[in-house]
Amino acid sequence: MAGTVATLFRMAGAGWVLAREGAFSQLDPEDMPDGPRRAVTLAQAIARRGVTDQDRSDRLTAALNRLGPSYIKLGQFLATRPDLVGTEVADALGRLRDEIDPFPEDEARATIEKSLGRPVDDLFATFSPPIAAASIAQVHKAEIADDMGARPVAVKVMRPGIRRRFKRDLDTFYEGARLVERVDPASRRLRPVAVVDTLARSVTLEMDLRLEAAALSEMAEASAGDPGFRVPRVEWDYTARDVLTLEWVEGLKMSDVAGLRDAGHDLPLLARRLMQAFLRQALRDGFFHADMHQGNLFVDAAGDIVAVDYGIMGRLNRHQRIFLAEVLFGFIRRDYKRIATVHFAAGYVPGDKHSVEDFAQALRAIGEPIHGQRASEISMARLLTLLFEVTEIFDMETRPELLLVQKTMVVVEGVARTLDPDFDMWAAAEPVVSEWVERHLGPTGQLELVAEGAGAVGRLASELPRLAERAGRLSAEIDRMSEHGLRLDPETIAGIGRSEAHAARWGRVALWVIAAVAVVAGLKWVF
């Protein structure tokens, strides 16, 4: 009881902070069901007055920073979901950077000693105060002196108590998602609980720095030899669950456009290299850096792009990569029927409710306006925004894995255009995408698909005896149930009764708590 009530009050408290900062002001309650409409109307009434759209964006990010690390991560994650929060809110959240106050150096040293089993001064020749701090960890500059010689390194240290904090806040997020699904059945298409599931998995991976080290290692192997892109080297002997040590990157951040220009770097070339590096990762490798904003991208003295912070990674299987390539090429070729067919074949649009022709018509409404423009004016961000707008009409379920790659593509395009305002994304992408399409959708790729199918058939054949045995047992059990019926022992029946009574009681308690919080919030606003 205490845990549930505490979760509800935390949710209400966070809602109050966000409502005051205008987080719900851009939502239109007109077409919402009664419950959500009343909640949004109340939230908009609570919001501060006389706040401009720009101020509201700043206030929203400030509110998330004030609520803590979990909410910063939630905001960054929702920036990838314009279908959930709207494009304006997603844009504001996309500017959210988890740059928060560092924790004390002595706590970082204690974490390193506990993780690596030796004092910091024995491990490193030098060790600096924190130079950057984020929601989950902070970074120190250090120097290693061992048999390989002296070399500078970056030491990433997990924030103390962060796992406990995230676990508590994730409980709040789950309760909020379940509440949304209960009061607004239409929202179930967007799968709010599944959204929190995805966030929880992402955060769980970020909480183990050994997994980030593994991502760095895998990416380094996959991109070895790629022109103009490299990955920092991991120092495995100085890495553990709460500590990640890697090569120190000397270079300029991509956000420092003037500095890059003054250093003599070719900015249009850097823009092309960045887009091509991302597309190689997504299409060729099916494993991509999913947080490629300017703060995570450096340019070294040789002109190579060096990406850091591999805590958030994306994966695409073969069929998802084919889908992505087909959609990109379909819009360029104006082949809307093909794009629609791919959506239906992948099961993203239910064929029992809609026709390929109707979906192709909607895609034409998206694609035709961009074809009167120069290629350099066709924004992937705009195209994807329009594409999101038709998904609800055609009951297209959320595809988190595709949303992540789409969001990353939009971010990469934005970074490229800060380097080169005339950046032509399609011209930059063409060599990589064409090579991949020719390799995987041409005759060679079709032969590989046939070979994969033959292998699957072989595996199925080897499983047939076991499947037949299980089917026989299931058939016998069904025959027994049809003859004697399904019987539950008295203890099971009593347990079901207790569970139902408990659920009903807590449902009533939750409703009263939410009502009380709403009343208190209203009184605060009035007085």
117: left (phi over 0), alpha (psi -120 to 50) or beta: left
Residue type at position 428: A
Cβ 166 vs Cβ 158: under 8 Å: no
Give CA–CA dist 7/15, Å, rounded: 12
Q: What burial letters (b/e) apply to 134-162, b meaning 16+ CB within 10 Å? A: bbbbbbbbbebeeeeeeeebbbbbbbeeb
With both helix axes pointing from N to C terminus, report the angle between 400-419 and 267-279 in degrees, rounded to the nearest 10: 170
Pairing of strands 126-133, 297-299: unpaired
**Residue for token digits 């499947």?**
467
Give CA–CA dist 234/153, Å, rounded: 9
Structure-token pair, residue 204:
């769980």
Give CA–CA dist 464/120, Å, rounded: 58
Residues forming a β-bridge with 335: none
Q: Among 315, 330, 327, 326, which residue's Cα sits nearest to residue 404?
A: 315
Give CA–CA dist 208/210, Å, rounded: 5
Three-state SS across 257-301? Answer: HHHHHHCCCCHHHHHHHHHHHHHHHHHHHCEEECCCCHHHEEECC
Give CA–CA dist 296/72, Å, rounded: 17
Q: % helix / strand / coil in the chain, to the nearest 5?
A: 65, 10, 25
Phi, psi angles (nearest 5°) of residue 173: -60, -40
Give CA–CA dist 351/366, Å, rounded: 21
Give CA–CA dist 96/54, Å, rounded: 13
Three-state SS across 148-196? Answer: CEEEEEEEEEECCCHHHHHHHHHHHHHHHHHHHHHHCHHHHHHCHHHHH
Residue 54 CB neighbours (<10 A): 9
DSSP summary character for residue 304: -
Which residue among the candidates 169, 184, 242, 291 is catalytic per the annotation? 291
Whether 256 is a known active-site residue: answer no
**Element housing 130 (H / E):** strand 126-133
Cβ 86 vs Cβ 26: under 8 Å: yes
Q: Among 314, 310, 300, 290, which residue's Cα sits nearest to residue 216?
A: 310
Could you list the active site residues? 291
